[in-house]
Amino acid sequence: MSRLTTGALAALVAAGLSGCQAPLEWYKEGVTPSDYAADQTYCKGAEDLVPSYTPDNEMHWVRLYQIEAYNNCMESRGYRLIEPGTEPRPAGGKRTAQGQKP
């Protein structure tokens, strides 16, 4: 096999394996479902403002800027991205209703 073919094959395998990762979710200790929904709505508003502040020569980057604005907003409100089911547990190893998976 040529180096080009080997490189292309390795890139395809890496891309395929990266698609197997579970999607991340936002987590904040002690947040209620209604607070979470309000924070999501607030940050969606920040995301929606991005096109109006993006220069014309950078409009092709708008979606990436929107994702960055949303993520920055959620982080500023105290959330962090974690893998589903890996919520921190209180000392003593007891599961809380907030941290349990259905």
**What's the structural domain count of the chain?**
1
Confidence of residue 53 (pLDDT cuts 50, 70, 90): confident
Query: 33-53 and 62-76 helices cross at what angle (nearest 10)?
Result: 140
Amino acid identity, position 81: L
pLDDT at 36: 95
5 inside domain: no
100 inside domain: yes
16 inside domain: no
Contact 96, 77 (CB under 8 A): no
Q: With 0.75 as the threshold, say if the pTM is over it.
A: no
Three-state DSSP state, 101 = coil
Q: Which residue has the higher pLDDT, 20 or 91?
A: 20
Q: Let me know how long the chain is.
A: 102
Mean pLDDT calculated for residue range 43-57: 90
14 inside domain: no
36 inside domain: yes
66 inside domain: yes
> Contacts for 9-18 with beta carbons within 8 Å, 24 or more apart?
none
Residue 98: pLDDT over 90: no
Residue 28: pLDDT over 60: yes
CA 54 to chain centre: 22
78 inside domain: yes
For 49, the domain range is: 23-84+95-102
13 inside domain: no
